[in-house]
Amino acid sequence: MNLSQLLMVGLPADNDLSFVFEFNPAGVILMGRNARPASEIRALTEELRGLLIASDHEGGRVQRLKDGFSVLPTAREVGRGGPQNVRQTARKVADELASAGINFNFAPVCDVPVHEGDTVIGARAFSTDFSKAGELASAYIEGLQTQVGACAKHFPGHGGVGLDSHLGLPIFEGTREELEPHLQPFRAAIEARVAAMMVAHIGVPCLDQTLAPASLSKPIITGLLRDELRFEGLVVSDDLEMGALDSLGAGEVAVRALDAGCDLLLFCHTKQKAIEARDAIEVALKSGRLERQRVEDALDNVARFKRRFGC
């Protein structure tokens, strides 16, 4: 059982692959520090055959790779052209990413920014209308998944909170009834057969009174996303090095995220934290804190995703 296959890691700024070859993760995420001309990205991904290779390629201010790629407008701008424009844009994105050897895009954003203190979503969202956001996200998924895996984010919805989870733990203060509209775009994404779902670091007390971040919450991931919404694809954590989780060590975070129902754990910056996470998972598995079936299911979900998108 290769527990490293439960993790996706970042590369250093010089794109040195030595840790990747040693650690053997499920994949890598290309950040802004890794950006190079498209031809160099292609040469890099050729060395990473068999791995998931992901990036945040939403458009607007969240597009890590630009040199040799189309510089994309925000989702809000693309969405103004309607579903067909979104679908066509997503197909173009898929063409360019696939040509560069990238098989996984952390998009579309399914959050609907209705909180007056929103500082992180804004025009990254297709719309401030819940129904329209779901329709446009579905069109994006249909276009992108002609070649590249899509990942709807940030479940169960970052648009109802103000604080940026890079900085601290946002709390959704509403009732379950008030949360329901935020789930609408994610339901639409599931109906569109989105391949992956990224879980946010937000507390949702109407679902989990412990205030555990959604990414570490079994009631939210297993109870709501899996059992109630019937999502059968890959569940991805948001970056587990973000400020919302600062009070926990990497090992504890990894074990709790996996136990809650995440399949693929993101450590985007620090190789030592990725090692600590894998080792903690191994210890938790041996001690019985983690059920073997949960770990095997997560590994199966990662392997199924990799097969679907040509890894």
Q: Which residues are catalytic?
A: 166, 238
- Whether 150 and 107 have beta carbons less than 8 Å apart is answered as yes
The span from the CA of 288 to the CA of 120, in Å, is 38
The Cβ-side half-sphere exposure at 30, using a 13 Å CA radius, reads 29
Give CA angle at 257 (218, 272), nearest 5°: 170
- Cα gap 147→252, rounded to integer Å: 35
Q: Are 96 and 64 in contact (CB under 8 A)?
A: no
Burial 192-220 (b: 16+ CB within 10 A, else e): bebbbbbbbbbbbeebbeeebbbbbbbbb
- Secondary element (H or E) of residue 271: helix 271-287
